[in-house]
Amino acid sequence: MRSIQSDTAGGSGGSSPRGNTERVLVVEDEPALLRALEINLRARGYQVSSSATGETALAEAARRPPDAVLLDLGLPDMDGSDVIRRLRTWTAVPVLVLSGRAGSGDKIGALDAGADDYVTKPFSMEELLARLRALLRRDAQPSSRQVFTIGHCTIDLVSRSVTRHDGDAEPVRLTRTEWRMLEILLRSPGQLVSASRLLSELWGPGTEDRTYYLRFHMAGLRRKLEEDPPRPKHLLTEPGMGYRYQP
Ligand code: CA
């Protein structure tokens, strides 16, 4: 039981009763349309960032990961589908395409690149907002948000991608076994995962004495993900017990 106080200073937790707190990144080079989108989204309580080019949009998405992206396909510096492909190397954020083109080929190309939905210009603002709400609802399902951070790396279990934010362009690639091991650990944040459980999940029963397998693959994960691999802060060893992901 907990008492309910009339204290208005807050601290009750939960989200604001009015408006959204979701951040939407709008990528559109047509000033009038961009302005209309910004006004309508802000009026409904969304936080809005906007970009008029693909490159600035990608930089903004990396700097402040949005909850959804509205993306014009015809941008001055690059094709919208290429923006999606580059986003998909590190994030599963919902992407709603604003297509101004007559043919269906570009929309199919955008969906193939990883877009989630599209509206064709000229679209009704109500339709666009309804599509956006649907995408955000879908993304709010507990099992679908699967992005974690280790050091300078963001790990997306859906797209199985790692993106690094330390300015180094060298991509991080994990092996199949590293992914499976990492996923088991990330799904139990802060909790000890025993060596025997990891071994039996990864290599099947009867492998519990092969803890050197785990040491080998854990060394690989730390080398790729930890800022200071010999002194890991997130992928921790519990001597004689197992491993722990410390968020
Ligand atoms: Ca355009």
Q: Provide the pLDDT for residue 244.
A: 86
C-alpha 30 to ligand 1 mean position (Å): 6
Q: Provide the pLDDT for residue 104.
A: 66
C-alpha 42 to ligand 1 mean position (Å): 21
Percentage of the chain with pLDDT > 90? 44
C-alpha 64 to ligand 1 mean position (Å): 23
- Angle between the N-to-C axes of helices 176-186 and 195-203, in degrees from 0 to 180, rounded to the nearest 10: 140
C-alpha 73 to ligand 1 mean position (Å): 6
Residue ranges, comma separated, of all CATH 3.40.50.2300 domains in the chain are 4-140
C-alpha 148 to ligand 1 mean position (Å): 33
Q: What is the pLDDT of residues 90-112, one digit of tens each?
A: 888 899 999 876 666 777 778 77
What is the distance between the alpha carbons of residues 192 and 2, in angstroms, rounded to a whole number? 31
C-alpha 121 to ligand 1 mean position (Å): 10
C-alpha 86 to ligand 1 mean position (Å): 18
Contact 73, 99 (CB under 8 A): yes
What is the third-level CATH fold of 4-140?
Rossmann fold (3.40.50)
Determine which of 94-98, 131-135, 222-226 has the lowest per-residue pLDDT on average: 131-135
C-alpha 184 to ligand 1 mean position (Å): 43
C-alpha 38 to ligand 1 mean position (Å): 16
Q: Provide the pLDDT for residue 71.
A: 97
C-alpha 217 to ligand 1 mean position (Å): 46
C-alpha 66 to ligand 1 mean position (Å): 21
Q: What is the pLDDT of residues 136-158, one digit of tens each?
A: 876 665 444 588 889 889 998 88
List the shell of residues around ion ligand 1, using CB closer than 5 Å. 29, 72, 74
Q: Provide the pLDDT for residue 5.
A: 39
C-alpha 52 to ligand 1 mean position (Å): 9
Q: What is the pLDDT of residues 159-187, one digit of tens each?
A: 889 988 887 777 889 998 999 999 989 88
Q: Provide the pLDDT for residue 18.
A: 46
Q: Provide the pLDDT for residue 174.
A: 92
- For the segment(s) 147-245, the CATH number from 3.40.50.300, 1.20.1260.10, 3.40.50.620, 1.10.10.10 is 1.10.10.10
* Cβ contacts of 167 within 8 Å, gap of 6 or more: none
Q: What is the pLDDT of residues 16-63, one digit of tens each?
A: 434 568 999 999 999 999 999 999 999 999 999 999 999 999 999 989
Residue 207: pLDDT band with limits 50, 70, 90: confident
Q: Provide the pLDDT for residue 115.
A: 85
Residue ranges, comma separated, of all CATH 1.10.10.10 domains in the chain are 147-245
What is the distance between the alpha carbons of residues 145 and 148, in angstroms, rounded to a whole number? 9
Residue 208: pLDDT band with limits 50, 70, 90: confident
* Cβ contacts of 148 within 8 Å, gap of 6 or more: 154, 155, 157, 186, 189, 245, 247
The residue that leads in pLDDT, 134 or 143, is: 134
109, containing H or E segment = helix 105-113
Q: What is the pLDDT of residues 16-25, one digit of tens each?
A: 434 568 999 9
